[in-house]
Chain A
Amino acid sequence: MLQLLLIAARNLVQHRRRTLLLGGAIGAVTALLVILIELSTGLRATILRSATTLMTGHVNVAGFYKVTPGQSAPVVTQYEKVLATVRQTVPEIDYIVERGRGWAKVISDTGSVQVGLGGVDIEHEPGLHKVLRIVQGNLDELAQPNTILIFEDQAKKLDVKVGDTLTISAPTPRGTNNTLDLRVVAIAKDLGLLSAFNVFMPATSLRALYQFREDSTGALMVYLKNIRLVPAVHTRLRNALQKAGYTMMDEDPKPFWQKFESVNREDWTGQRLDITNWDDEVSFVMYTVTALDVLTGALTFILLVIIAVGVMNTMWIAIRERTREIGTLRAIGMQRARVLWMFVTEAFVLGLSTTVSGAVLGMLICALLNAAHISVPIGVQLFLMNDRLTLLADPVKIFLSVLFITFCTSAISLIPSLLAARMKPITAMHYIG
């Protein structure tokens, strides 16, 4: 085996120009694949970090309350009883946040935007301090009643700054119009799609706007110590709440605001609980990750086909150049299988060395891009959920990519190698190329 490796390495060195050209192509494809993987992983991590703070817990116990069949509100009534069941059922809890939910029009003197309202108790929201980057004002002032936090783009649309007053207008669950005047206390940096439709206000003010009782909340956002436990906790919570006598909504992996239409169409009234996880609540933004993954897959496939053609051509040339050598080797006793492995090993060595180099190059480029803190245009921010380009290495995925490309280059070399192995020694020795 060592002998074969030696022959392969010497051959590659001997045909330096050809090796560099083909190896460069394989390395470039690997580097590109690594960059795309890091972009996708970075995007997923950003969404997970931002979304699980801004709009969802790892698992959410939420639901709808309907006064009449046609009017629903995203409310959990008597939430303390629900909370007790949740705590009893899930020992893996890290912490729980109670978050008010609403959908309203925010109006300034010059404009208006339709947004989702997050009713927060800022003293018990450690995550918001970590995720939100405040550009104006003070996040802690959300502890005062009738205050609001908005995002940069919303501030621009509404033409307001910290200290200005905004009016929120929304119908109560009984359909009666209500308004509330709120003072802007903080403006945060945009977080793409996640911030485009969200504002935060004190939970007490949200209750006042919707005329909710003190014992109601929008959702219990449950954070787990280990996010891998989400599916198990999701199922366990659903069963436990059902057993505790709560009526549950049918499983529907969508964010709560996409459920109003179907909930309003149903005939029931009263309270129904709904269990969702972070994946369900951010499904409307995860398409960007899926799109990027599909793009990565398609691009990799096309580039791999080009590389395969290149590898095969190179092997053909090598075999043609070395036909007499093959004949001699066969004449002095080298078996067909060994000839086959000789060429496959050459492709393998070329593939492995260049994919490893490409992966290292890709990771270096990613590290440089991260260090440069590159700001992205607003249009791109919508999809990246961040104002900066964030790339994150996933060692397992990168290792698998290196293996895959190496395997492909080796596998494709099997066809010319097989033909080389099947040559008759006498014919090969007499070959004049």
Chain B
Amino acid sequence: MTFVALALLLAGSPANAAMNQEQMVQLLRTLDDRQQNNGDYKSLVYLEQKEKDKTDVVREAIVYRRSADQKLMILFSKPKSEQGKGYLRLEKNLWSYDPNVGKWERRTERERIAGTDSRRADFDESRLAEEYDPSDEGEDKLGAYSVHKVSLKVKDGVDVAFPIVKLWVDNETSNILKRQEFALSGRLMRTLYYPRWQKLYSESKKGDFWYPPEIRIYDEVEKANSTIVLIKTVDLHSLETNIFTKAWFESKSR
């Protein structure tokens, strides 16, 4: 249903006819809706970090999410030095845990995850319509793909890592193919590519849930740095009720 709505929306906006504000907001809602499953989520994630003059590091983690109260948990399992470390988001607070020191540290929601180029938002549910005001930038070409370009500006009073975002949405599949994020100064900070999208039927949503199995993140300030996020084995079944607690996290960290 959402796919049809989005396809109609994009199809109805030829290069010379820009979308109006209402259509743009609807587009964001649809993009968000495609990536939300209104239930629980669990996936196995690999993060491959490349940094200049450093050896590449691959981390394995399990991501847990619950739509109802916007909870998120990232628990690292590999390499051995990272085992048991992770993040837990509780009531707008992001907590980081290190089993070596046995302490929880409150972190900003917008900081890098495990020092990579990824952010919490890359693993969380999409909330574009809630956080940004869109503006239309018309049709564009991304390699062989015809895309619709959308510019987003953060809403007043909302805290995000990047106040300006540009999206390239595929006209044919309605998937986000490219995303660019800018600092307050207007400088380009990150470029993200989503080469593939997959869908799963979600029981809780009673509809399709879309996710990108691969995200390529390029640091545009330190050009040599990049991170590849691979999302594997997505499970949309219900999780244990008390899973999003510090105690549960610590028990898994041991």
The residues of A with any CB-CB pair to B shorter than 8 Å are 68-71, 107, 111-112, 167, 169, 171-172, 174-180, 211, 261, 264-265
Between B92, B161, B184, the greatest number of chain A beta carbons within 10 A of the residue's beta carbon is seen for B184
Do residues A177 and B108 form an inter-chain contact, with CB atoms below 8 A?
no
B interface list, Cβ under 8 A from A: 52, 92-94, 104-111, 154, 159-163, 183-185, 187, 189, 221-222
Shortest CB-to-CB span from B223 to chain A, Å, is: 8
For the complex formed, measure the closest distance between the CB of A421 and the CB atoms of chain B, giving whole angstroms.
64
A176 touches B184 (CB 8 A): yes
Query: CA of A107 to CA of B223 in the docked complex: distance in angstroms?
Result: 10
**Cβ contacts under 8 Å, A179 to chain B:** 183-185, 187, 189, 221
Q: Is there an interface contact between B106 and A178, defined as CB atoms closer than 8 Å?
A: no
Contact B109 A176 (CB under 8 A): no
A70 to B183, CA, bound (A): 21
Q: How far is the CA of A180 from the CA of B161 in the complex (A)?
A: 16
| Given A107-B222, A111-B52, A169-B221, residue A178 in contact with residue B183 (CB < 8 A) | yes
Contact B159 A178 (CB under 8 A): no
22 pairs, CB–CB < 8 Å, chain A vs chain B: A68-B92, A68-B93, A69-B93, A70-B93, A70-B106, A70-B108, A111-B52, A112-B222, A169-B183, A169-B221, A174-B159, A175-B108, A175-B109, A175-B159, A175-B161, A176-B154, A176-B160, A176-B184, A178-B183, A179-B184, A180-B185, A265-B104
Question: Is B93 touching A176 in the complex (CB atoms < 8 A)?
Answer: no
**B104 nearest in chain A by CB position:** A265
The answer to whether A265 and B184 have CB atoms under 8 Å apart is no
Shortest distance between the CB of A80 and any CB in chain B (Å): 26
Q: Are A264 and B106 in contact (CB under 8 A)?
A: yes
Task: List chain B residues, Cβ under 8 A from A176.
Answer: 110, 154, 159-163, 183-184
CA distance A169 to B159 in the complex (A): 17
What's the minimum C-beta distance from A229 to chain B, rounded to whole angstroms? 38
Chain A residues contacting B93 (CB-CB under 8 Å) are: 68-70
With A112-B222, A180-B185 as known contacts, state yes or no: A265 contacts B106, CB within 8 Å: yes
Assembled-state Cα–Cα distance A174/B111 (Å) = 11
A111: B residues at CB distance < 8 A:
52
Query: Given the known A-B contacts A167-B187, A180-B185, are A175 and B110 also in contact in the complex, defined by CB atoms under 8 Å?
Result: yes
Of all chain B residues, which has the CB nearest A67? B159
Contacts of A174 in B (CB 8 A): 159
Given A70-B107, A171-B108, A264-B106: A178 and B184 within 8 A (CB)? yes
Chain B nearest Cβ from A178, distance in angstroms: 4
What residues of chain B lie closer than 8 Å to A172, measured between beta carbons? 184
Complex formed: what's the CA distance from A407 to B108 in Å? 61
Q: In the assembled complex, how far is the CB of residue A181 from the closest CB belonging to chain B, in whole angstroms?
A: 8
Q: Which residues of the partner chain B approach A265 to less than 8 Å between Cβ atoms?
A: 104-106
With contacts A167-B187, A264-B105, A264-B106 known, what are 13 further pairs, Cβ within 8 A?
A: A68-B92, A70-B93, A70-B106, A70-B109, A111-B52, A176-B161, A177-B183, A177-B184, A179-B184, A179-B187, A264-B107, A265-B104, A265-B105
